Amino acid sequence: MSESIGRLGYLGLAVESDSGSAESSPDIYIPYIENSLRGHHEPLMDISARASRVKDYSSVEGKKWGEGSVAMYLDGSNSGYLLKMALGTEARTEKNTTPPVHDHLMYPTVSGNAMTTATLWDYKGVDVEQYTYGVVDTCEIEVTTDGIATLRAGILSQFPSTVTAPDLTTVSGTIFTWKDMNAYFGDTVADAEASTVVKLNNFKVAIANNASMNYKTGSEEPDSISSGPIEVTGSYALYFENATDRDRYYDLKKQTCIVNLTGAGLGSGYTERLQIVLKKIVIEDVDIETGLEDLFALTCNYRAEWDQDQAGYVEATVRNGKADNYA
């Protein structure tokens, strides 16, 4: 018997052209730092009385599905797959032909419940399990001054099956840290883009699709997985050097927030970039660090709202050399 450590595993992913129909091979192998994806089964117990004190007489198959969390370092290339699955829609714009530079704009589908799905290949040292109809239920990006920026996705899927191992390929991507991030605030997107940089201690944005697994007769696996109401929340922290953000909380003053993370050069004056645009946020609560040995610092917990004036909600743009869609 041969045991394997966790870093010998891999997770392949391919966005599905037809939800629930397995793709033939991975588009990408996610360079993960955590992977808890696994199959789940809830047996149904027969507890009927049979002239005995024994409660659990027998069992039959119940609901089966796949579920887990995958975390990776936030980068300017591979992150686009999970961001597209979390937000749902992609619009690609060519910025430069040679060398190729493309903007991949991701934004949520708000008029329906269909989700962008993927096939996943998961190897954990024994065999390869394939998960179809994989969706991103939750997605969180966090940038702190303690380490490398991260992206964490909560995944739901149909129950896995065992398949032949796919051909492995290496992956690359410039990873981001706090030194690569700049934040801007303003009354509108244009105001935020023209504003001076606001220096933060950390930033977090979390997308919740409130997905539901829908079961139908004839199968113990979910027939489909659909999104519920989308919510986007998060927080940012900064040293308490002025009362601007505290007073925004007091006065319910809403604002646009833009966060840019800049990576490697792409040529012709372009660089890799991940841009997050929150068209309108409201600060729901603040917390002030008041420890006697610590600097005064303010943490603002926010929620994104639909912005009628700017006709938008939340979007993320990945700029890199990928000349085709994340599909």
Top pLDDT among 1 and 245 is at: 245
pTM for the full predicted model: 0.94
Could you tell me which of 259, 234, 222, 258 has the C-alpha nearest to residue 115?
Answer: 222
Task: Return the pLDDT at 171.
Answer: 77
Task: Return the pLDDT at 113.
Answer: 87
pLDDT band at 291 (very low <50, low <70, confident <90, very high): confident
pLDDT band at 43 (very low <50, low <70, confident <90, very high): very high
Mean pLDDT of 138-154: 97
Non-local (6+) Cβ contacts of 211 within 8 A are 115, 135, 137, 156, 225, 226, 227, 228
pLDDT at 2 over 70: no
Mean pLDDT of 63-81: 97
Mean pLDDT of the chain: 94
Task: Return the pLDDT at 327.
Answer: 84
